[in-house]
Structure 1
Amino acid sequence: MPLEAVAYPDLHDAARRVNEGFEKMDAQGVVEAALTEHGHVALVSSFGTESIVLLDMVSRVNQAAPVLFLETGMLFPETLDYQKDVALILGLTNVQIVRPAPEDLAAKDRFGRLHMANTDACCDIRKVLPLERAITPFDGWITGRKRSHGGQRAQLDLAEVEGHRIKFNPLAHWSGAELRQYMKDHGLPNHPLTAKGFQSVGCAPCTSATKPGEDPRAGRWRGSDKEECGIHFIDGKAVRQ
């Protein structure tokens, strides 16, 4: 059942109520509560291999809800095409393209090769800083993170407090099989790179296909101990690993 619309002065109390008020699989209910009961909230989406599930859920609540799409300048062409196709199919009318600042690129990655020397610094100027700017006017945001991704995501709650915002993770408890079944049940199109063995898709230089049995995110920054790009925050500060 959706939570009663109440203004919570304590964000930790608000997050607790979300975590206690929903069944683990009631992702649609979490999305509805986030968009209707917690102020100005945006979905941050990569338009990756699993993104369409949340995008579809958001569209069922409000097709004009803000969707922030981080266009790093290094995404696969297939992702850029997929973003346009999905927005059209779902009738999403408020997809906001978030790009790195030209002055940051000019100062730190003029030739587009920073990822070869320092992946953290590259993610910082192409993802972390642009999102920090874009998320400023919002009271909260919705992410597609899941416990099944493992690593730092293994203990995710449906809602977390991050600085002065609530971060909602409606799919925290969903498995890959459940995501695929949702897509099948609702006739949603796969990301084009799924057919080529990509279970998780980020920037082209730092993403590879995965082998059968590998972790879904094994193809991200393969060969390094890097697990996250850094767009997720702790106590209001970006995690720059």
Structure 2
Amino acid sequence: MKIGLPLRQAIIGWDSGTWGQCLDFWQQYVPEFKGKQVLELGASQGGLSLYFALQEAEVLCSDLTSPEAKARPLHQAYGQSQIRYLALDAKALALPDQSQDLVVFKSVLGGIRRGGETDPKPVVMAEILRVLRPGGWLLFAENLKGAHWHMFLRKQFVSWAAYWDYLSLPDLQVLTQPFAESHYQTAGILALCGRNEFQRQQLSRLDRVLQKKWPENQCYCVFVAARKASDPT
């Protein structure tokens, strides 16, 4: 499916030139979405739900509280009235075992831990594995710690940076270890510095060139495709 800039911005939101690269990355591993049961976690305005619905997947759009009020206007603007909405806690998904072909999310794992509580990310990943069908895929995009100056800028200009649990690549490898296979790609160097979406778009184009030589652990976001093991034959 060809995705122009306005649609990409509707799907991804902030910094779509960088984060939107996840769509092409995911499609390398899951090229066909038609008829798939897709669960979006932490949906907010439901951008990823829109993306998969436009490709004829059967989509469940979820967040900790129902995202319907925020997400439905976007979905209806693109003629996608068949999407279902549900309040779901990613740490205890009220869904049957092996009921989903795909679980997807963007920028969720870093926001689920508060204060000194036990790290809930392994619990979330275990729940995702439970609801995925054998051979199903987890597709997600997350914030990385990136370079030291990325973290400095976040603390200066991002209100939620003080509590956000930014991932490292070793963290990612631990979280995806239970999957049969996992793949990742990092992105984002300068675009984070843009003061508006136009500037971020221009900087993301430069980043695509720089990323070819840039250390992957010094980028500020990561895209992941991880497959659950198939049933033994």
Fold-level similarity (TM above 0.5): no
Q: TM-score, normalised by structure 2?
A: 0.37
Q: TM-score, normalised by structure 1?
A: 0.36
Higher share of residues assigned strand: 2
